[in-house]
Amino acid sequence: MTLKLPEALMDGPVALQPQGWKEPKGYSNGMMAEGRLLMTGGVVGWDKDERFAEGFVPQVAQTLLNIRDILAVGGAEPRHLIRLTWYVTSIETYLAELKGVGRVYREVLGRNFPAMALVQVVRLVEPKALVEIEATAVIKI
């Protein structure tokens, strides 16, 4: 069986949506892309001096800004993201702050919604961290 790649791949990553599935909100079920891979480690919500933002939404905002800065160093933009894996210390807090999370997400990364996973963990390496995100991007060659 030969896979026919969507024409849209010529412009960058493409969301994969199986026929008949409900449209996901704020993420994609799958992504396809061709090019150079850029992967971050676990990025947390501190500034360049390793000072944490106070509160969940401010930490999410700073984490996303940090990811955007790492992407820029590699010649990528948020539109090149194909996957984000979120690690949070409290899913309840994430759900309670979802509107704020969505707002800062769109402010920092725009309306690009890659494949995403969210995992609750007991704690993160940095004791003050409430969220840590790993990102994968593909830059067209």
CB 37 within 8 A of CB 75: no
**Global confidence as pTM:** 0.86
pLDDT tens for 32-82 read: 888 999 999 999 999 999 999 999 999 999 999 999 999 999 999 999 999
pLDDT at 3: 46
Residue 98 has pLDDT above 90, yes or no: yes
Fold of the domain spanning 26-139: 60s Ribosomal Protein L30; Chain: A; (3.30.1330)
Mean pLDDT estimate for the chain: 90
CB 54 within 8 A of CB 125: no
Give every CB contact of residue 63 below 8 A, 6+ residues apart in sequence.
Answer: 43, 44, 45, 131, 132, 133
With vertex at residue 25, the alpha carbon angle to CA 118 and CA 116, rounded to the nearest 5 degrees, is 30
Give every CB contact of residue 112 below 8 A, 6+ residues apart in sequence.
Answer: 78, 79, 81
pLDDT at 14: 85
pLDDT at 10: 52
Query: Which one, of 63, 94, 86, 87, lies nearest residue 71 by Cα?
Result: 63
Task: Give the mean pLDDT of 121-131.
Answer: 97
Domain borders along the chain are: 26-139
CB 2 within 8 A of CB 102: no
